[in-house]
Chain A
Amino acid sequence: MESQKALKERFLELDKTVGPGDVIVVLPFNLTPTARKERVDGLVGFTKDKIKVYRDGALDVEYDIANVKEVKCVPGIGCTNVEIDLGEREVLLCRADMSMNLLYATVAKRLNRYLESGVFDASFEEEVDIYCPKCMRPYPPGSNVCPHCADKKKYLSRLWDIAKPYKGYIIASVIMYFIISALNMLGPYFNRILVDDYIKAEEIPEFAGFLTVIACIFGVSLLSRVLTILRSLTMVEASNKVITKLRSMVFNKIELLSLKRVSKRTAGELINRVTGDTATVHDFVTYQLGEIVQQILVFFAVSLMLFIYDWRLALMILLPAPIIMVAHRMFWRFIHVRYDKQWTLSAKANSVLHDIFSGIRVVKAFGMEKAEMERYDKVTAAERDIAISNERTFALIFPVLGFFMGIGEFFLLYYVGNKILGGTMTLGEMQQFSAYVSIIYGPLNWMANIPRRLIRVMTSIIKIFDIIDEKIDVADKENAIDLEIKGHISIENVSFGYDDSKDVLRHVSLEIKPGEFIGIVGKSGVGKTTLTNLVMRLYDVDEGSIRIDGYDIRDISQESLRSQIGVVLQETFLFSGTIYENIAYAKPDATREEVITAAKLAGAHKFIMRLPDAYNTKVGERGYTLSGGERQRIAIARALLHDPKILILDEATSSLDTETEKQIQDALQQLAKNRTTLAIAHRLSTLRNATRLVVLDKGTVAEVGTHDELMRKRGIYYNLVMAQRQMNRMSPEAVKISESA
């Protein structure tokens, strides 16, 4: 994508009426606003007072920026639009294919901020660009480094920095590689002596010499094996140490990154970085690197030997090698394409099977067994057909190819045979020769694969360092203070969005006194959870500030901040481990009595004691399955044990029945004394203890006040309450259903 600099230059060239300092931002577009399909080349320039649209070099239309109420990015399907709201009407400004969607969304958001504040934040280009500016290839998912253009030497030297403490191992194994390669050369040499000087000797040889040769062959073979074992052991030791270090570096880094950075990538992506990419590097270092070194050594050593013996013979062997390599690769590519297809079909058959079995209740309930059988038969038949055809091809081509690849050997045999008959070569020499030939073809086939392997491992190395190098964006300041929190929170003019395209919160201001119980209500998606995330500083605000006891939370150390905030989330997550460990998660030194007290307070003790293993019951993955309500109570106990100064309850009691909820509410109320509490709830009855209620609407604070005040106001809160009351009155069942859902 063109840079803003280039776009501005192009725009200034078209429009001579504006000065370079007046252009705020320029958007390119490539589709007409009408339904016509063909592409155009257009620019929309946003200047200090005008919006000017140029299409194919000519001014199309212009608008006064003073009239613009809002700039909107409206994505279609396969195309995206920028529209402006002029108050009395909306106008389609420009339209482009989806490659500009992210740019449009980001710029639209920033332009809206500009319209309000007069300041344009131009630092978006890096976020928007998913292509490497050098080679125009896309970055790998979740990465900002191009594997093509990255300085590969730099990364290798950094890998070496990590490997340095183990260089003793590495040097030792390189030396062993040399020795093993040399020993491999010796085997055929002794064989020749054995054949020429003893087995086919003219006169009867002495037996002692014969024994010595046999012993030498034995010794060489034994030494080579022993060294191979030793080398493997050294390599495994060194590479495992290096990789473990690398892996923990990646993991530690991910843990330190802010949620904003981490959630840009999926959990699978991250796991892949920690395990997959490091495993690729590990495999390469442990098995392939050594192999490559050894194969190259062997290749050159054997070539040298062959040339020393007979350069014509050596040429005869080496010249056809590239042709054979190419033929081999072509054959494998051909086979690969066909087997790929078979693999895809078999994956499809498996997924159909998976689909049917996981939906077996639905299949049976609707009596669709027969239809599903047919569906499965159809995919397996397709797989069968291609499998048969593949096997046929393979059975036919492979032997033929092998035959043609062996043709060189016939010529060799002819040439060598002639020499033996002519007496210029001995039988032993011939044997040694053919041994070398078979040794040399191994590395040849191997070497064809080296570039592919190198690319693969390089990509992984770059991806690993990409994470390690990432800047920590929510970082402690150097002089961050440890604060003893009293609980006064003031939120001042805060705006925030998770990504660059949309603000979730806009100009939110709120003053919370120590010990207040604040209920946050509003429709889903209005930013309730976001607000609590910002108070915890899981994200940094984009604009404005959040202060606790008068200190900006960016000046407080994160450890001190979070150790005094307790959170109970809607989705409670239990780690694999016992119930005890889960409750004591944030306070590992808690006594058993403290844990039990917390559990009692959270209403969890009773059901825990009904379990056969009580507090030692294993939960989490592969553990005892707890119900949603039980999990929530454990999470509440976890937060209570933490003894926080600020308590955040995000739909904390939503999956409990009314009775239990009331119990916990009472417990929480006890606990909430002298603690600032922020509670989010859809069920408004949950918030009856709140000192004040905050109603969020469309990312802003719509109403603030006590229950009575807000009811009198007859605003959003009033409507919410009325809607819920009506629902409850409808039928007792309806209430029950909504409670348990």
Chain B
Amino acid sequence: MSDSRKSEANNRPASALRDVVKIVKLDDEVAAGNAVFYKNKDFLALRAKLENENGEREEKNWDRVFLHRAFPFDDPYEYISVLDKDQNEIGIIGDLRNIEPNMRKLIEEELERKYYTPTIKAIKQIKERYGFSHWKVETDIGPLQFTVQDTYRSIIRVTSTRLFVVDMNGNRYEIPDIHELDRKSYRMIELYL
């Protein structure tokens, strides 16, 4: 079997999958002029001409759409689901960077509002008491204090250098690169790596 034929054979199941389930790529639709994100008072809205079940394009308007990241840790700007108010998916933004800047700004704003994650710049103190650890940190929005329950398990290790700390209330704090921290801060968090 020649190489080209082999790769063709390998590709077959994938293309078959794609035939069965269609992902509506809203970034492509925006580029093709079939979809427009716009601001409706406080919220993000969408007007789009998408294919319905019969394969015909139909113009529809959503007064308010909701966004949800499919890979919030791995890549926050790729694969963003756009949902209506009953949580049904309208489509997926494959890559936010494909969308023209003005519209992209609106979407980014909506994302920033939903995902609130201060970035930790330095750790001043971690104190363990009764199964909780009390943190004092310096973040991009200023000094913060929070309490983490079951510390080791409350740290999401995305890679060996990038992590998220989740406090007892469900707030998240990102440390983009632990090696960027100063030595004192690193020492304090080293125990939990």
Contacts and interface: CB of A to CB of B under 8 A. Distances in A.
A76 B141 contact: no
Nearest to B172: A78
5 contacts: A33-B113, A35-B111, A38-B142, A92-B42, A138-B168
Interface stretch (A47-55, A97-105, A194-202, A543-551): A97-105
A31 B42 CA distance: 15
A39 interface: yes
Interface string B73-105: 000000000000000000000000000000000
Contacts of A91: 41-42
Contacts of A77: 72, 114-117, 172
B61 to A, nearest CB: 14
Interface in A64-114: 76-79, 89-92, 95, 97-99, 101
Given A95-B113, A140-B130, A341 B191 contact: yes
Interface residues on A, range: 20 to 34
B169 A37 contact: no
Contacts of A140: 130-131
Contacts of A341: 191
Which of A78, A98, A341 lies at the interface centre, i.e. has the most chain B CB atoms within 10 A of its CB? A78
Given A91-B41, A98-B169, A101-B170, A78 B116 contact: yes
Interface of B: 41-43, 64, 72, 108-118, 129-132, 134, 140-142, 147, 149, 152, 167-172, 191
Contacts of B113: 33-35, 76, 79, 95
B149 A98 contact: no
A31 B141 CA distance: 11
A98 B171 contact: yes
B13 to A, nearest CB: 14
Interface string A451-487: 0000000010000000000000000000000000000
A459 B129 CA distance: 11
A147 B170 contact: no
A37 B112 contact: yes
A344 interface: yes
Contacts of A138: 132, 147, 149, 168
Interface of A: 31, 33-35, 37-39, 76-79, 89-92, 95, 97-99, 101, 130, 137-138, 140-141, 147, 337, 340-341, 344, 459
A38 B139 CA distance: 10
Contacts of A137: 129, 132, 134, 147
A78 B115 contact: yes
Given A77-B172, A344-B152, A39 B142 contact: yes
Contacts of A97: 116, 169, 171
Contacts of B170: 78, 98, 101
Which of A99, A130, A337, A344 lies at the interface centre, i.e. has the most chain B CB atoms within 10 A of its CB? A99
A78 B171 contact: yes
B129 A35 contact: no
B41 A89 contact: yes
A394 to B, nearest CB: 18
Nearest to B118: A37
A141 B108 contact: no
A-side binding surface: helix, strand, loop or mixed? mixed
A34 B109 contact: yes
Contacts of A459: 130
A67 to B, nearest CB: 15
Contacts of A39: 141-142
A92 to B, nearest CB: 4
A211 to B, nearest CB: 58
B191 A99 contact: no
Contacts of A37: 112, 116, 118, 140-141
A129 to B, nearest CB: 12
Contacts of B152: 344
A138 B170 CA distance: 14
Given A76-B113, A98-B167, A98-B169, 17 more contacts: A33-B42, A35-B108, A35-B113, A37-B141, A39-B142, A76-B116, A77-B114, A78-B116, A78-B117, A79-B113, A79-B114, A90-B43, A92-B42, A99-B171, A138-B149, A138-B168, A459-B130
Closest 4 CB pairs of A and B: A79-B116, A35-B112, A98-B170, A78-B116
Contacts of B130: 140, 147, 459
B42 A99 contact: no
Nearest to A89: B41
A76 B115 contact: yes
Which of A37, A38, A130 lies at the interface centre, i.e. has the most chain B CB atoms within 10 A of its CB? A37
Contacts of A35: 108-113
B32 to A, nearest CB: 27
A354 to B, nearest CB: 16
A33 B39 CA distance: 14
A97 B147 CA distance: 13
Nearest to B68: A77
Nearest to A91: B42
Contacts of B169: 97-99, 101
Contacts of A130: 168
Contacts of B117: 77-78
A102 to B, nearest CB: 8
B89 to A, nearest CB: 18
B75 to A, nearest CB: 15
A130 B41 CA distance: 35
Contacts of B64: 90
Contacts of B171: 78-79, 97-99
A94 B85 CA distance: 19
B5 to A, nearest CB: 23
Contacts of B134: 137
Which of A89, A95, A98, A101 lies at the interface centre, i.e. has the most chain B CB atoms within 10 A of its CB? A98
Contacts of A344: 152
Nearest to B174: A78
Nearest to A32: B113
A142 to B, nearest CB: 12
Contacts of B111: 35
A15 to B, nearest CB: 23
A97 to B, nearest CB: 5
Which of B111, B113, B131, B142 lies at the interface centre, i.e. has the most chain A CB atoms within 10 A of its CB? B113
A71 B149 CA distance: 31
Nearest to A75: B170
Contacts of A90: 42-43, 64
Contacts of B129: 137
A90 B65 CA distance: 12
Contacts of B142: 38-39
Nearest to A102: B169
Nearest to B170: A98
Contacts of A79: 113-116, 171
Contacts of B131: 140-141
A340 B140 CA distance: 31
Nearest to B72: A77
B191 A92 contact: no
A412 B129 CA distance: 40
Contact of A76 (B114, B147, B191): B114
A660 to B, nearest CB: 37
A675 to B, nearest CB: 40
A341 B190 CA distance: 9
A38 B143 CA distance: 11
Contacts of A31: 116
Which of B132, B142, B147, B170 lies at the interface centre, i.e. has the most chain A CB atoms within 10 A of its CB? B170
B190 to A, nearest CB: 8
Nearest to A340: B191
A37 to B, nearest CB: 5
B153 to A, nearest CB: 10
Nearest to B64: A90
B35 to A, nearest CB: 21
A60 to B, nearest CB: 13
Which of A91, A138, A340 lies at the interface centre, i.e. has the most chain B CB atoms within 10 A of its CB? A138
B14 to A, nearest CB: 17
A147 B132 CA distance: 13
